[in-house]
């Protein structure tokens, strides 16, 4: 196996097993505000697709898993459904509560999905917003199904991190090789699609869900160099870096980017939604 193949396998294992590698209550705590500022929003066509299938209106109930700082929560609240949002990070939870304070139909609870007591509550939809991979596979499908009413919907919404073109990334290769060679890989959209398709297939293969449908969209956005570097600090592989290593890496990335591209970068990201129906008992 080549060095690149070994590295790819290692990163794939990390991302696949991130739920075992990090304390969910604190992982994003230091970057909650940065996460809210720089992580992309779900585009209107993705919400339209969700609404076309799920019809999340005032009489509906929704459980959101992994609300983060409320990026999707506030959009869900505007639809009028009664929403319970679970978020393990205390700082992100507090931010989501502030953002959604004007919506009495929404409650944010500081808890992991695994630890949260379902009780007798049943929901019309369980929605995981770029978070389903954080839940252990042996738990996530079974408990999501248990939280749903008969014929309820599991909705997995995903946004991949915005990234520059391959040409821009190549100009940064030497920086990564010097300061963080483990982060030197460029992620093609097709790789993200394949990885997310595997999660969707696992949902169906669990036996708890069927009739999986999906929709996706590539969006273009413009970030300043500072915004892009701040975005990087919210990504798990960068959070895992030792603080001095991360600071040196970001400083050098900033220098190269500003020399070659000024202060603005054109980025793109993939949004994808997967919807499956609970299998009736």
Using an 8 Å Cβ cutoff, are 255 and 174 in contact? no
Mind listing the pLDDT tens digit for each residue in 201-230?
A: 999 999 999 999 999 999 999 999 999 999
State the Cα–Cα distance between residues 262 and 258, nearest whole angstrom: 4
> Has residue 9 got a pLDDT over 80?
no
> Is pLDDT above 50 for 232?
yes
How does residue 24 score in pLDDT terms, banded at 50, 70 and 90? low
pLDDT > 90: what percent of the chain? Answer: 82
Is the CB of residue 35 less than 8 Å from the CB of residue 28?
yes
Mean pLDDT over 153-179 rounds to: 96
Query: So what's the pLDDT on residue 64?
Result: 98
Are the beta carbons of 261 and 225 closer than 8 angstroms? yes
Contact 57, 79 (CB under 8 A): yes
- pLDDT for res 1: 42
Q: What is the mean pLDDT of the segment spanning 179-184?
A: 94
In this predicted model, what pLDDT tens digit does every residue of 239-261 receive, in sequence order? 999 999 999 999 999 999 999 99
At 280, is the pLDDT very low, low, confident or very high (cuts 50, 70, 90)?
confident
Which CATH fold would you assign to the domain 3-164+185-219+269-278? Rossmann fold (3.40.50)
What pLDDT is attached to residue 22?
57
Q: What is the pLDDT of residue 16?
A: 55
Which residue, among 155, 158, 150, 143, has the nearest Cα to 206 in the 3D structure? 143
Confirm if 66 and 109 have CB atoms less than 8 A apart: no
How many percent of the chain have pLDDT more than 70? 91
pTM of the model: 0.91
Q: What is the pLDDT of residue 13?
A: 46
Q: What is the mean pLDDT of the chain?
A: 91
Task: Give the pLDDT score at 138.
Answer: 87
CB atoms within 10 A of CB 185: 15
Query: Is the dihedral angle over the CA atoms 209, 210, 213, 218 positive or is it negative?
Result: positive
Domain positions in the chain are 3-164+185-219+269-278
Q: Decide if pLDDT at 7 tops 50.
A: no
Buried b (16+ CB within 10 A) or exposed e, 36-70: bebbbebeeebbebbeebbebeeebbbbbbbbbbb
**Residue 150's pLDDT is what?**
94
Residue 125 burial class via C-beta count within 10 angstroms: exposed 0-12, middle 13-18, buried 19 and up: buried
For 76-133, how does the pLDDT look when each residue is reduced to its tens digit (9 = 90+)?
A: 999 999 999 999 999 999 999 999 999 999 999 999 999 999 988 999 999 999 999 9
- pLDDT for residue 21 is more than 60: no
Residue 188, pLDDT > 90, answer no
Average confidence (pLDDT) over 18-22: 53
Cβ neighbours, 10 Å, residue 219: 17
């Amino acid at each position: 196996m080549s060095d690149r193949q070994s590295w790819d396998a290692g990163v794939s294992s990390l991302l696949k097993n991130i739920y075992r590698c990090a304390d969910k209550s604190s992982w994003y705590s230091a970057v909650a505000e940065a996460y809210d500022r720089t992580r992309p929003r779900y585009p209107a066509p993705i919400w339209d697709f969700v609404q076309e299938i799920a019809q999340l209106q005032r009489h509906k109930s929704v459980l959101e898993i992994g609300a983060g700082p409320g990026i999707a929560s506030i959009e869900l609240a505007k639809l009028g459904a009664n929403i319970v949002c679970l978020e393990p990070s205390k700082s992100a939870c507090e931010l989501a509560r502030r953002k959604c304070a004007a919506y009495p139909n929404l409650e944010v609870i500081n808890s992991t999905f695994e630890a949260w007591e379902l009780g007798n509550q049943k929901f019309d939809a369980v929605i995981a917003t770029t978070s389903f991979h954080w839940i252990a596979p042996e738990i996530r499908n079974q408990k999501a199904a248990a939280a749903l009413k008969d014929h309820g919907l599991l909705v997995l919404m995903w946004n991949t991190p915005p990234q520059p073109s391959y040409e821009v990334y190549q100009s940064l290769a030497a920086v990564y090789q010097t300061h963080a060679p483990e982060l030197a890989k460029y992620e093609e959209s097709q790789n993200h699609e394949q990885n997310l398709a595997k999660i969707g297939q696992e949902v169906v293969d669990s036996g708890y869900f069927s009739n999986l449908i999906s929709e996706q969209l590539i969006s273009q956005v413009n970030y300043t160099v500072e915004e892009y570097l701040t975005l990087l600090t919210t990504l798990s592989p960068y959070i895992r870096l030792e603080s001095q290593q991360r600071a040196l890496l970001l400083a050098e990335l900033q220098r190269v980017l500003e020399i070659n591209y000024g202060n603005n970068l054109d980025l793109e990201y993939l949004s994808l939604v997967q919807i499956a129906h609970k299998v009736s008992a």
